[in-house]
Amino acid sequence: MTDTASVWGRDDVSSGKGASDENFPVGSLLLSKALRPHVHAYYDYARVIDDIADCETLSADEKIARLDAMEDVLLGKRDPIPRADAMSAAKLRASFLKTGVPFETATDLLIAFRDDSRGTPCTSWDDLLHYCRYSANPVGRFLLHLHGEVPHTFAAADALCTSLQILNHLQDCQGDLQRLHRCYMPTDLMAQAGATQDDLLAGRATPNLRRVFNTLLDGVDALNREASALPGLVRDRRFRMECAAIVSLAHRLTQRLRREDPLAGRVALKRTDIMYAAGAALRAWS
């Protein structure tokens, strides 16, 4: 058996990201006060495993060993040691046992982060959707289960989460390649457009790379249309408002990425976008 200390290694893998760095609200005031601690437990766990996969000082094998250890703690196969990353898995385990939310909503995330750790390439739109199935869609399903929503909400939620993940990839395409040597732009789309990964390192998008961005945004538009049905399917009023706001923000960010260049500077939501989202939330109250 692997020595516990050697598996966990250093406690210095944090990326420094937090809820304030996200495009979309994490455990916002729209959610029930009683459920917010469970949402934060899930977010803390997700942040830790994301940081492990993104750590620039761990080898691929070290990352996967650490992710495996997190899964063992989550599933009760390993006792946690008293440090933040292990305890986040233990805290989420306690949340799942209390709420009945399926453990798969957390273990599925590990599939994507193991792929990131290995440097698994994204060769096609289908590869990108597969990655989002595990890196993003479990988040929506966690929230749906937590609110007691029914399975017919899953497809629209999956579309929304996949949309948000691809939008994030577009926002961060340059940084992902520079810092993590990771590219989520499908290689077949890049080749068809005559673009290369070197184009992502420029100060502005070339026409060829812009074609790749627009093709991905066409796919996001289709996902956003499917996601637009989600608020009408959700029964919990407060969560319905949250969903309506996030759907609105996804549409607004998609429009911004159509008009703005993510290589020239981070394309971010503005105050006007937040106002539109607030209006969408209010309309979903009834």
pLDDT in the model for residue 13: 61
Q: How many CA atoms lie within 13 A of 231 on its CB side?
A: 22
Residues 199/262, Cβ–Cβ less than 8 Å? no
Residue pLDDT, tens place only, 248-286: 999 999 999 999 999 999 999 999 999 999 999 999 987
Would you list the domain boundaries of the chain?
30-118, 121-286
Structure tokens at 118: 């290995």
3 state SS of 29: coil
* pLDDT surpassing 80 at residue 2: no
CA distances from 286 to 140, 240, 279 (A): 22, 10, 13
Please tell me the distance from the alpha carbon of residue 80 to that of residue 252, in angstroms, as a whole number.
Answer: 42
* pLDDT surpassing 90 at residue 207: yes
* Residue 217: closest CA among 132, 125, 141: 125
Q: pTM here? A: 0.92
Please tell me the distance from the alpha carbon of residue 173 to that of residue 196, in angstroms, as a whole number.
Answer: 12
Burial of 235 (0-12, 13-18, 19+ CB in 10 A): exposed
Quote the distance between the C-alpha of residue 125 and its chain's center: 17
Structure tokens at 39: 């949402």
Question: How many of the other CB atoms lie within 10 Å of CB of 16?
Answer: 6
Q: How confident is the model at residue 1 (pLDDT cuts 50, 70, 90)?
A: very low
* pLDDT surpassing 50 at residue 163: yes
Please tell me the distance from the alpha carbon of residue 23 to that of residue 39, in angstroms, as a whole number.
Answer: 16
Residues 49/109, Cβ–Cβ less than 8 Å? yes
CA distances from 60 to 63, 120, 253 (A): 5, 11, 33
3 state SS of 269: coil
State the CATH architecture for 121-286.
Orthogonal Bundle (1.10)
* Residue 144: closest CA among 136, 154, 131: 154
In the block, residue with structure tokens 């009683």? 34
Residue pLDDT, tens place only, 56-107: 999 999 999 999 999 999 999 998 877 778 899 999 999 999 999 999 999 9
Please tell me the distance from the alpha carbon of residue 269 to that of residue 275, in angstroms, as a whole number.
Answer: 11
Please tell me the distance from the alpha carbon of residue 177 to that of residue 197, in angstroms, as a whole number.
Answer: 8
Q: Work out the mean pLDDT of the chain and round it to a whole number.
A: 92
Residues 163/219, Cβ–Cβ less than 8 Å? no
* Residue 112: closest CA among 93, 139, 131, 138: 131
Question: How many of the other CB atoms lie within 10 Å of CB of 219?
Answer: 16
Angle between helix axes 207-227 and 154-171 (nearest 10 degrees) is 160
* pLDDT surpassing 70 at residue 50: yes
Please tell me the distance from the alpha carbon of residue 198 to that of residue 186, in angstroms, as a whole number.
Answer: 14
